[in-house]
Structure 1
Amino acid sequence: MKASELTQRQALRTIDGVSFPVIQRIGDNHLVDMTVFEDGLIEAPELMDLAMFEADVRKGRIGTSIPEGETLRLGQAGLLDLEQGDWTLTPDALIERVYGLLAELNPGLDNLVDLQGSATHVVDGQLNWKQTRTRSAPWREAEPDSDNDRHPGRWLWSFERGTEGFDLVQLVLFRDGALSVLGREGRRFVSLEDFAGDVGKGQYGFPREGDRVTIRGLGAATCSYAAPGPCSGEALIGELRECGRELRGEPTSFHVCRAAADAYWADPTDENLATLRRTYEEVPPHLRRYCGDMDEKDIPIRKVLYGDGTV
């Protein structure tokens, strides 16, 4: 009797963890939010067990600093060239931190997962993950009268202006609308509207050449070159609003625009054109390319709205 011939079953379990920034070196230096789970698995962003994690630290694949003058990539937030680094966390201290956090999450160190040196194995001739964390997400406790125990969240990197430069912060927007700002000074919660006001006042932004940048738990360095990404500055607000819609199960602005585009292609009236223009311009600029198909993206929409000269 083969497993492939039987009824498939699954068991669901919540596996808690905590995360903090580390540097992953795969070609370039990438700032990643590394998670330590209570079962001993590490997500950075690939899954590994404790032995695999230690090996990656020793080999420099997971690090606590970057060489002088090299680039640090922060995903959609952008990239920075850093120099004059004062990195305060050593590789040994990183390993010690992980074991300390694991002891808090799982005091008895019970039922730790051992991946036997590889995150994958072959089942029925196909390569599969031994473990997955596809639904891994930040969370906060729900209100006592809520229908759910927890509110899931989505996170982004950003920079908050401080007295001596910029502090890296992690922004987490939760399904109930609460926005967490976690950085060097700890965690605080603000409303999305108040945060938008602070962005407009310049409290949040992207470092420039000569600014000192602090990364909580790793250290500080001076920016010698800065390239803001599509999800920095004012674009943060639009991205967070989209995240909120997704968390609440609502159509995102680009889904609404897609529907308006389909309506216009089917019936190109002035009214449908006006609706397409309004919904397209409500989409955050860095997300507008998703309003079309994979090949042409939003080019047909821009042509019909702004003329054939649009590229």
Structure 2
Amino acid sequence: MQRIKRQKAIEGTRIPGIIKNGQYYYINLDVYEDGMVNCWELVDLKSLEEKLRINWLIPQIPEGENISIHGLGCYKIKSAKWKYDKRTYYKYVNNVIKQLNPKLNNIYKISNEETELLEKRRIRYSPSAIDFYVKNEFGYQTKEGKGFTIFIKRNDKNYLVNLVLYEDGNIACYNSEFEISYNLESIKELFEDGTFFTGFDNPTTIILDNFGEVTLSDELQCHVNINEKYKQLVDFYNELSGNETSLEKCRNAYYQYLIYPDDETREQLKQAYEAVPEHERIYLGDMDTRDTDYQRIIYHSEVKREV
């Protein structure tokens, strides 16, 4: 039998959530109009309830514990006011689905047969959501984007927000209380003047969207440098524009050095490597090597690589 397949775009939105997997991870919980939810695994509402029951997905973190925010840092929670418990958080997710799909049409439920098949094939789906906005309803013209979470100072309060850069150069800052539009040039000074930030000297109260309010301590000093986040934003623009990113330029310089290993190509590699956002350099190699060979060539060229 000849096999074919198709794909269908399912729209949704993001809300805050926490994964407990050894430690506590703040996540954007992807909620879709068909009732599916991605909590590091794409699940239906029944399975989501189970994830809450077994404490994989949780709505609160105890005081004194650390919270890890991907691409931003790891912080200690000094105090917290959480908005939800397990029951009300599950209800919150359901309400978001109803906002996306008021009549609850075509809500997807994973059958026992599908679960068994996925287990047999050892597959666990966790699709990456694609940010987009509708530029024109006529013809439903959209623009795709890429983004990350970051702290912002606004009206004497501090928020954790999603910052998304779209392929046309527009940038949007999303929070349940506000949305702000920027472009790449106008936003640069906000990274320089402290409006956007990643770390802080004293315990700082942060509003986690429609989820809670926490006072965080940066005593771990394990946050990404704010300048590196702006470099990452520029990389997003280059990627979406079809231009080389700093990672691609660095990989090309690495291959060039391997072909012509001399002082000139090593210096070119060094410049390309240091242009990559520091927290992104681990993605230059594979999961095992990361950027270790880049560092060896640039900073410890006397050390020979083991093959």
TM-score range normalised by the length of the shorter chain:
0.7 to 0.9
> How far apart, CA to CA, are the structure 2 residues paired with 1:291 and 1:127?
28
Equivalent of residue 30 in structure 1, options 22, 25, 31: 25
2:294 to 284, 294, 298: 298
* Gap change, CA 1:165 and 1:114, over 3 Å in 2: same
TM-score by length of 2: 0.84
Counterpart CA distance in 1 for 2:17 and 2:119 is 36
User: Could you tell me how far apart the structure 2 residues matched to 1:68 and 1:272 are?
Assistant: 50
Residues 40-80 of structure 1, C-alpha deviation per residue, up to 9 Å, x if partnerless? 11111211111111232344332222112111111221111
Q: Which range moved further: 135-144 or 19-28?
A: 135-144
Aligned counterpart in structure 2 of residue 248 of structure 1, from 241, 247, 253: 241
Contact 1:16–1:37 under 8 Å retained in 2: yes
1:127 to 113, 117, 122: 122
CA distance in 1, matches of 2:94, 2:13: 12
Q: Is the 8 A contact 1:47 1:119 kept in 2?
A: no
Shift of 1:210: 1.9
Distance in structure 2 (CA, Å) of the matches to 1:175 and 1:284: 20
Q: SS of the counterpart of 1:189? A: strand
Q: Number of aligned residue pairs: give it.
A: 299
1:236 Cα deviation (Å)?
0.4
In structure 2, what is the equivalent of residue 170 of structure 1? 162
Distance 1:281 1:224 in 2: 29
* Counterpart in the other structure of 1:202: 194
Counterpart among 204, 207, 214 of residue 214 in structure 1: 207
TM-score by length of 1: 0.83
Distance 1:274 1:83, change over 3 A: closer
- Return the offset for 1:229: 4.7
Shift of 1:190: 0.8
- The answer to whether residue 37 in structure 2 is matched with residue 45 in structure 1 is no
CA distance in 2: counterparts of 1:186 and 1:117, whole angstroms: 41
Aligned counterpart, 2:256: 263
Tell me the SS of whatever aligns to 2:232. helix
Q: Which runs of no fewer than 5 residues in structure 1 stay unpaired?
A: 1-5
Given candidates 78, 84, 91, the residue that maps to 2:86 is: 91
- Maintained 8 Å contact 1:80/1:225: yes
Matched, 1:69 2:61: no
Residue equivalent to 2:15: 20
Structure 2 CA distance for aligned equivalents of residues 251 and 138 of structure 1: 20
Aligned to 1:112: 107
Letter in 2 for 1:168: L
For 2:261 and 2:79, locate their aligned partners in 1 and report how far apart those are by CA, in whole Å: 58
Aligned residue identity for 1:44: C
| TM superposition shift of 1:179 | 1.5
**1:79 alignment partner in structure 2:** 74
Contact 1:121 1:128 in 2 (8 A): no
Matched, 1:182 2:174: yes
Conserved 8 A contact 1:207-1:223: no
Which whole-Å deviations, capped at 9, do the CAs of 1:229-277 have from their partners, x for residues lacking one? 5644111011112222222333221221222232333335666455444
Alignment partner of 1:223 out of 216, 228, 246: 216
Write the letter of the residue equivalent to 1:287: E
Contact 1:83 1:223 in 2 (8 A): yes
Counterparts in 2 of 1:292 and 1:103: CA distance versus 1, 3 Å: closer
Aligned to 2:5: 10
CA contact (8 A) 2:36 2:43 kept: yes
RMSD: 3.0
Structure 1 residues 44 and 301, CA gap change in structure 2 (3 angstroms): same
Structure 2 CA distance for partners of 1:262 and 1:228, relative to 1, 3 Å: same
Deviation at 1:175, TM superposition (A): 1.6
